[in-house]
Amino acid sequence: MISQKAKYALRALVALAKEGDSLMIGEIAARKNIPRKFLEQILLEMKRHGIVHSRRGKLGGYSLLMPPEKITYGQVLRIIDGPIAPLPCLSRIAYRRSRKPARFAGFLPGSRSRQERCSTARRSPIP
Protein backbone atom coordinates (compact mmCIF):
# COMPACT_ATOMS: atom_id res chain seq x y z
CA MET A 1 0.00 0.00 0.00
CA ILE A 2 1.35 3.40 -0.93
CA SER A 3 0.98 6.06 1.75
CA GLN A 4 -0.55 9.46 1.05
CA LYS A 5 2.81 11.03 1.82
CA ALA A 6 4.45 8.94 -0.94
CA LYS A 7 1.68 9.89 -3.38
CA TYR A 8 2.27 13.57 -2.60
CA ALA A 9 6.02 13.11 -3.05
CA LEU A 10 5.52 11.51 -6.46
CA ARG A 11 3.12 14.29 -7.51
CA ALA A 12 5.59 16.96 -6.45
CA LEU A 13 8.45 15.29 -8.33
CA VAL A 14 6.32 15.01 -11.47
CA ALA A 15 5.56 18.73 -11.23
CA LEU A 16 9.27 19.53 -10.90
CA ALA A 17 10.14 17.23 -13.80
CA LYS A 18 7.55 18.83 -16.09
CA GLU A 19 8.63 22.36 -15.15
CA GLY A 20 12.32 21.76 -15.73
CA ASP A 21 13.10 24.94 -13.78
CA SER A 22 12.72 25.69 -10.09
CA LEU A 23 9.29 26.01 -8.49
CA MET A 24 8.31 27.56 -5.19
CA ILE A 25 6.61 25.33 -2.62
CA GLY A 26 3.42 27.39 -2.91
CA GLU A 27 3.29 26.82 -6.68
CA ILE A 28 3.74 23.06 -6.34
CA ALA A 29 1.17 22.87 -3.54
CA ALA A 30 -1.40 24.82 -5.57
CA ARG A 31 -0.83 22.93 -8.82
CA LYS A 32 -0.88 19.46 -7.30
CA ASN A 33 -3.34 20.12 -4.45
CA ILE A 34 -0.88 19.17 -1.69
CA PRO A 35 -0.97 20.73 1.81
CA ARG A 36 1.90 23.23 1.97
CA LYS A 37 3.30 22.22 5.38
CA PHE A 38 3.24 18.56 4.43
CA LEU A 39 4.96 19.36 1.13
CA GLU A 40 7.73 21.22 2.99
CA GLN A 41 8.49 18.08 5.03
CA ILE A 42 8.45 15.89 1.92
CA LEU A 43 10.78 18.15 -0.06
CA LEU A 44 13.20 18.43 2.85
CA GLU A 45 13.39 14.63 2.97
CA MET A 46 13.97 14.52 -0.79
CA LYS A 47 16.67 17.17 -0.41
CA ARG A 48 18.48 15.11 2.26
CA HIS A 49 18.62 12.17 -0.14
CA GLY A 50 19.91 14.20 -3.09
CA ILE A 51 16.77 14.12 -5.23
CA VAL A 52 15.95 17.85 -5.18
CA HIS A 53 17.88 21.06 -4.62
CA SER A 54 16.60 24.26 -3.04
CA ARG A 55 17.59 27.85 -3.70
CA ARG A 56 16.76 30.89 -1.63
CA GLY A 57 15.69 34.26 -2.87
CA LYS A 58 13.39 35.82 -5.40
CA LEU A 59 14.26 33.32 -8.13
CA GLY A 60 14.58 30.46 -5.67
CA GLY A 61 12.54 27.36 -5.10
CA TYR A 62 13.01 23.63 -5.58
CA SER A 63 14.37 21.89 -8.64
CA LEU A 64 15.43 18.34 -9.44
CA LEU A 65 19.05 17.61 -8.68
CA MET A 66 19.19 14.53 -10.88
CA PRO A 67 17.62 13.84 -14.28
CA PRO A 68 13.97 12.69 -14.03
CA GLU A 69 14.73 9.46 -15.89
CA LYS A 70 17.19 8.45 -13.14
CA ILE A 71 14.61 8.78 -10.35
CA THR A 72 12.57 5.63 -9.77
CA TYR A 73 9.26 5.10 -8.00
CA GLY A 74 10.92 2.53 -5.77
CA GLN A 75 13.61 4.98 -4.75
CA VAL A 76 11.01 7.59 -3.77
CA LEU A 77 8.87 5.03 -1.91
CA ARG A 78 11.90 3.80 0.04
CA ILE A 79 12.87 7.36 1.02
CA ILE A 80 9.37 8.28 2.16
CA ASP A 81 7.98 5.01 3.55
CA GLY A 82 11.09 2.96 4.28
CA PRO A 83 11.76 -0.56 2.99
CA ILE A 84 9.21 -1.94 0.54
CA ALA A 85 9.80 -5.62 1.33
CA PRO A 86 7.30 -7.22 3.72
CA LEU A 87 10.10 -8.95 5.67
CA PRO A 88 13.59 -7.70 6.56
CA CYS A 89 15.18 -10.83 5.09
CA LEU A 90 13.72 -9.88 1.68
CA SER A 91 14.70 -6.22 1.75
CA ARG A 92 17.32 -4.68 -0.54
CA ILE A 93 18.21 -1.78 1.74
CA ALA A 94 17.32 -3.02 5.22
CA TYR A 95 18.32 -6.68 4.83
CA ARG A 96 18.61 -8.69 8.03
CA ARG A 97 19.25 -12.39 8.05
CA SER A 98 16.46 -14.45 9.62
CA ARG A 99 17.44 -16.01 12.93
CA LYS A 100 15.08 -18.94 12.62
CA PRO A 101 13.91 -20.87 9.56
CA ALA A 102 10.29 -20.35 8.61
CA ARG A 103 7.96 -22.55 10.70
CA PHE A 104 5.65 -23.22 7.77
CA ALA A 105 8.41 -24.72 5.63
CA GLY A 106 7.31 -28.33 6.24
CA PHE A 107 3.62 -27.75 5.53
CA LEU A 108 3.86 -26.79 1.87
CA PRO A 109 5.18 -29.32 -0.65
CA GLY A 110 8.42 -28.08 -2.19
CA SER A 111 8.63 -25.13 0.17
CA ARG A 112 12.10 -26.11 1.44
CA SER A 113 13.55 -26.11 -2.08
CA ARG A 114 11.88 -22.76 -2.86
CA GLN A 115 13.27 -21.34 0.36
CA GLU A 116 16.77 -22.56 -0.53
CA ARG A 117 16.51 -21.10 -4.06
CA CYS A 118 15.45 -17.74 -2.60
CA SER A 119 18.29 -17.86 -0.12
CA THR A 120 20.80 -18.63 -2.88
CA ALA A 121 19.37 -15.93 -5.13
CA ARG A 122 19.60 -13.43 -2.28
CA ARG A 123 23.34 -14.07 -1.89
CA SER A 124 24.20 -14.03 -5.60
CA PRO A 125 25.17 -10.72 -7.22
CA ILE A 126 22.63 -8.91 -9.31
CA PRO A 127 23.65 -8.86 -13.00
Q: What is the pLDDT of residues 73-107, one digit of tens each?
A: 888 888 898 877 666 565 665 555 656 655 544 44
- Spell out where 7-75 has E strands: 52-55, 61-64
pLDDT-based confidence at residue 127 (cuts at 50, 70, 90)? very low
Domains and CATH numbers, the chain: 4-81 (1.10.10.10), 88-123 (no CATH)
Q: What is the pLDDT of residues 18-70, one digit of tens each?
A: 887 888 999 999 999 999 999 999 999 999 999 999 888 877 889 999 888 88
Q: 110: alpha, beta or left, given left = phi > 0 and alpha = psi -120 to 50?
A: left
pLDDT-based confidence at residue 123 (cuts at 50, 70, 90)? very low
- Spell out where the chain has E strands: 52-55, 61-64
